[in-house]
Structure 1
């Protein structure tokens, strides 16, 4: 038997036997209208791409300012200093922030360990809400993040 969802039925949904919520025709119309792009958030695709590219650069910049310039925000002092400034910043990243083979192995090992835990750790199965783009199919989720977290803590504890 499937677990019921927590959402109460309204005019866009209907409660059918076993407590499962099924989307009505009116609800499907509303879903279709809401799926249409009315406006973009975060500047649309260009803005999101810029954030994905420049936020990591910004974090490196803050790290460089904190570690090498006593927390003061540094900047080029003239137009002639822009290229040397970027070269200095890149030098800091290359010399002090590049992952070593050891740190790469540790991180890769952790990701492989977490992936294995996602498959083997116990957890409850939860039915998701109907997904309009999948023809209102409900997906099943294996919720084992907490047991995986505790297994990770137990594994790394001294």
Structure 2
């Protein structure tokens, strides 16, 4: 239970209490009290640290242990702490060498992001109205939903580049660690930029006054360049297309190495294609979701859009790549795909019906 008076709100800010504070609307207007989620600034700091750590830990496991979990063992944390110190030092040293953000990695990632921006402005689509936004005077913002055509164009461009040899899709798998670091840097920079932009433009929304927590949760609800909505664009185009891009790169690399693409890899390509395609074709359902209508665009969403989702969620694809080709019994493959398509149909249809109801 969080019952907060105005005086307690001031005391909370002085004492660093993260339970609840009075939030501020633009121009200092107070809004209803919001409870600080995720454990306040301490929890936010922990999630930020964990989010960076898990990316590089998964990368380390893939590159140096064929995807198997690597650590000295929980017991040694107390009995032989030096082993953990040496392990962490090894991870940091290898990441500094193999995940260094090279100029080529920057070109790959920024070219991808730039292409997605251009397609968002150039491709045809339909206009959708969102919910009335209280912090915008109950204005209903308009959204140009052209993700599906942008998706088709993206696939055609990528395929033509790969076939023509202009740029091979395997380059992404070959530069996995370096591109991941670029994504991490961009995610952090965009988060800071959005915080600063909200303060400069006086567009603060549900701001608590705790810098780290506000950076983490965000204080900018609807960051836009004209009609171009940055939050919705990043949520479905940067994260999920890059996820599919990474998995396709893993499949292409497997074929390059072994002359075959195994059924487990085909399963991952299919699953990631279905989900990414669903996000693009159902873009008009997104303006009414909680992410767009209520959540501010802060570090929590931005970092995981630009780096966390694509690189963490493709761990399975790269785990398969790191193994020698293997095949299960054909009936097991059939069962896997039946479960996949059945689950996908229920999930996709139910969410579509829920939005249109």
Cα deviation 1:120-143 (Å, max 9, x = unaligned): 111111111100111111101111
Instruction: Give the corresponding residue for 1:23.
Output: none
Instruction: Give the corresponding residue for 1:100.
Output: 102
Q: 1:119 aligns with which of 106, 118, 121?
A: 121
Q: Which has the higher helix share?
A: 2
RMSD across aligned positions (CA): 2.2
Instruction: Give the corresponding residue for 2:91.
Output: 89
Contact 2:129–2:143 (Cα < 8 Å) also in 1: yes
Deviates more, 1:55-64 or 1:80-89: 80-89
Report SS of the residue matched to 1:88: helix
Q: In structure 2, how many angstroms separate the alpha carbons of the residues matched to 1:50 and 1:134?
A: 32
Instruction: Give the corresponding residue for 2:71.
Output: 74
Q: 2:139 aligns with which of 125, 137, 140?
A: 137
Q: 1:155 aligns with which of 153, 157, 161?
A: 157
Q: In structure 2, how many angstroms separate the alpha carbons of the residues matched to 1:35 and 1:114?
A: 37
Contact 2:71–2:84 (Cα < 8 Å) also in 1: no
Larger Rg computed on CA atoms: 1
Q: Give, in angstroms, the shift of residue 35 of structure 1.
A: 4.9
Q: In structure 1, how many angstroms separate the alpha carbons of the residues matched to 2:123 and 2:144?
A: 10
Q: In structure 2, how many angstroms separate the alpha carbons of the residues matched to 1:124 and 1:101?
A: 37
Q: In structure 1, how many angstroms separate the alpha carbons of the residues matched to 2:128 and 2:32?
A: 25
Contact 2:128–2:144 (Cα < 8 Å) also in 1: yes
TM-score (norm 1): 0.68
Cα deviation 1:33-89 (Å, max 9, x = unaligned): x9531x343223432332123212122112212321341321385233444332211
Contact 1:75–1:85 (Cα < 8 Å) also in 2: yes
Deviates more, 1:66-75 or 1:144-153: 66-75
Report SS of the residue matched to 1:142: strand
Q: In structure 2, how many angstroms separate the alpha carbons of the residues matched to 1:65 and 1:104?
A: 24
Q: In structure 1, how many angstroms separate the alpha carbons of the residues matched to 2:32 and 2:158?
A: 44
Instruction: Give the corresponding residue for 1:36.
Output: 33
Report SS of the residue matched to 1:139: strand
Cα deviation 1:86-106 (Å, max 9, x = unaligned): 221111111222232212111
Pairs aligned (count): 124
Point out where structure 1 has 5 or more consecutive residues left out of the alignment. 1-33
Say yes or no: does 1:62 pair with 2:58: yes
Deviates more, 1:147-156 or 1:40-49: 40-49
Contact 2:71–2:87 (Cα < 8 Å) also in 1: no
Contact 2:125–2:145 (Cα < 8 Å) also in 1: yes
Q: Structure 1 segments of 4 or more deviating over 6 A?
A: none
